Chains A and B, each alone.
Chain A
């Protein structure tokens, strides 16, 4: 799995870091997502998919490799 984000779409909602805190975090000042684990391990992948689904702006792009 590989994760990309479209920062211009990110509105800092934070559903991503809530679902997958080891994969996503928010830059405190600018309020945009930081991908901590762009190629997350198997145990984090379900949470990453949920994060992408729950992002209101569809800013998270997951490619299932």
Chain B
């Protein structure tokens, strides 16, 4: 049965119960949607936050209580039918049903795909020998290993790798970041003065950094690991963590007929097909301000997409999505990136001369401020973010 425009649908099925999926569910209830909401997640835990997994989950052992987005009790109170340990296996678009790994078929009137992304595997690592970090279970296993280790190799110098290295250093461990590119966090920071500042931040805290290095192989050597690097050096460490990016979790959608291209392709409102929406790390959403589809990997973006999908399902007018924003806590200081920074044409650095270590770098494109990155510069970044949002609104109206 097809819901008529202006009437909310009876059953919304949300596949993926992390930030985006959980937020669609709670937002629907916040708007007094009275139909059925089925929220299914592949992991056993009720929805929880991922950002602390590379921070307090490692350094302080924070777990279910501190990381919870919504407890099983809270979801039940909202009459959101949450099921954990329920991985989706296939989608039947014309039949309006999702097939679970166990064989069960779940019908829907509206489907939200929020299955997120999975860590890219390191081909040169043996199976099961290295840590990846995406789930709470991953974090528990990694923390246990780190506590008993003296040294750790962190393969990948992106946000996750840098945070893990900083957390390891905080635990008193010797960490070495192995990054294939020429700078740390290149996807988020480009090759900018902030890249140099962040490299120095790690070096100042005793983290070793190998740039332009790839892992040729990882061998066990008793209780230790020998990590062979291009360029000839070997690392002998007690633990290895790999953080080399993620791939959107779309394998279950093969053959469904949905357009898949580095994620589920959807329009500005998150619509992938009639009655099918996508939000979060899995969604490759059309961004009108860039004139192209973009797949975000950051928290505030996933949250905003989820809220937009909830509004669209209920036929409310969509709200514009915010500019990209990333925060990352490393060595006791907060790094923040706002707007279109990494791809800026011109970078200008502003630094706090009195040695407090505050660094701010502006990124310009076409002569206009496009983005900014700050390290220990939260007040300035907040102001710049508001300015950039206002400037973008003026451009859209003009």
Contact B325 A13 (CB under 8 A): yes
Give CA–CA (A12, B382) in the complex, Å. 8
CB distance from B380 to the nearest CB of A (A): 8
Q: Is B156 located at the chain interface by the 8 A CB criterion?
A: no
- Of A13, A29, A30, A56, which one neighbours B382 at CB under 8 angstroms? A13
Give CA–CA (A28, B356) in the complex, Å. 10
Contact A12 B381 (CB under 8 A): yes
User: A6's closest neighbor in chain B, by CB?
Assistant: B66
For B292-320 the 0/1 string (1 means CB < 8 A from A) is 00000001100100000000000000000
Q: Which residues of A contact B382 (CB under 8 A)?
A: 12-14, 17-18, 26
Q: Which residues of A contact B336 (CB under 8 A)?
A: 12, 31
User: B60's closest neighbor in chain A, by CB?
Assistant: A8
Q: Which residues of A contact B379 (CB under 8 A)?
A: 14, 17, 25-26, 28
Contact A29 B358 (CB under 8 A): yes
User: A9's closest neighbor in chain B, by CB?
Assistant: B49
Which residue, of A12, A18, A26, has the highest number of chain B Cβ atoms within 10 A? A12
Give CA–CA (A8, B357) in the complex, Å. 23
- Of A17, A25, A29, A31, which one neighbours B327 at CB under 8 angstroms? A31
Q: Is A11 located at the chain interface by the 8 A CB criterion?
A: yes
Give CA–CA (A17, B380) in the complex, Å. 11
Q: How large is the interface on A (under 10, 10 to 19, 20 to 34, 35 or more residues)?
A: 10 to 19
Q: How large is the interface on B (under 10, 10 to 19, 20 to 34, 35 or more residues)?
A: 20 to 34
A8 and B66 contact, Cβ closer than 8 Å, known pairs A13-B382, A14-B386, A29-B356: yes
Q: Which residues of A contact B300 (CB under 8 A)?
A: 11, 13, 56
Q: Is A43 located at the chain interface by the 8 A CB criterion?
A: no
User: A11's closest neighbor in chain B, by CB?
Assistant: B327
- Of B56, B377, B378, which one neighbours A8 at CB under 8 angstroms? B56
Give CA–CA (A12, B383) in the complex, Å. 11
Q: Which of A38-65 contact B (CB under 8 A)?
A: 56
A14 and B385 contact, Cβ closer than 8 Å, known pairs A8-B56, A29-B357, A31-B378: yes
Q: Is B376 located at the chain interface by the 8 A CB criterion?
A: yes
Q: Which residues of B contact A28 (CB under 8 A)?
A: 356, 358, 376-379
Contact B386 A12 (CB under 8 A): no
A29 and B334 contact, Cβ closer than 8 Å, known pairs A14-B385, A17-B379, A56-B303: yes
Q: Is B157 located at the chain interface by the 8 A CB criterion?
A: no
Contact A14 B303 (CB under 8 A): no
Q: Which of B355-392 contact A (CB under 8 A)?
A: 356-358, 376-379, 381-383, 385-386
CB distance from B48 to the nearest CB of A (A): 13
Contact B334 A30 (CB under 8 A): yes
Contact B299 A11 (CB under 8 A): yes
Q: Which of B65-108 contact A (CB under 8 A)?
A: 66
For A9-23 the 0/1 string (1 means CB < 8 A from B) is 001111001100000
Interface contacts beyond A18-B386, A29-B333: sample of 15 additional A-B pairs, CB < 8 Å, sorted by A: A14-B385, A17-B379, A25-B379, A26-B382, A28-B358, A28-B378, A28-B379, A29-B332, A29-B356, A29-B358, A29-B376, A30-B329, A30-B376, A31-B336, A32-B378
| 4 closest Cβ pairs, A-B complex | A14-B382, A31-B334, A31-B378, A26-B378
